[in-house]
Amino acid sequence: AQTVTQSQPEMSVQEAETVTLSCTYDTSESDYYLFWYKQPPSRQMILVIRQEAYKQQNATENRFSVNFQKAAKSFSLKISDSQLGDAAMYFCAYRRDHDGGSQGNLIFGKGTKLSVKP
């Protein structure tokens, strides 16, 4: 079974600085998808960024980027120029490349709580 591990329960960053959140996963599959979701205090789950395992190029969305190391099964999230609004819980998630049917659900890590200091 696939597992997702986030080893940093809490992180802190100064406003305007850069922070990296770690995520590792375990799978025997070669094709899959990885996601980072943000959950602010409002409880809403917001997709931040996603990565296809077959793509070598790291995904980027504005101030958010990932460092995807397929061989190491590592998928870290880098937040540049941190803003107060980035303070939230961040979840790493894995999704297998299913052939349709019933295996499309996400497997989540336990989350990293990010604080941003002004």
Q: Is 17 helix (H, G, I), strand (E, B) or coil?
A: coil
Q: Which residues contact 26 (CB under 8 A, 6 or more apart)?
A: 2, 3, 4, 5, 73
Residue 3 binds another protein (CB under 8 A): no
Residue 94 binds another protein (CB under 8 A): no
Residue 104 binds another protein (CB under 8 A): yes
Residue 44 binds another protein (CB under 8 A): yes
Residue 52 binds another protein (CB under 8 A): yes
Give dist(CA 99, CA 85) in Å, integer. Answer: 37
What is the per-residue DSSP string for 49-64? EEEETT--SPPEETTE
Query: Could you give phi then psi for residue 56, rounded to 5 degrees?
Result: -80, -30
Smallest separation, CB 80 to another protein (Å): 22
Residue 105 binds another protein (CB under 8 A): yes
Residues forming contacts to another protein in the complex (CB under 8 A) are 4, 9, 33, 35, 42-45, 47, 50, 52, 91, 95, 97-98, 100-102, 104-111
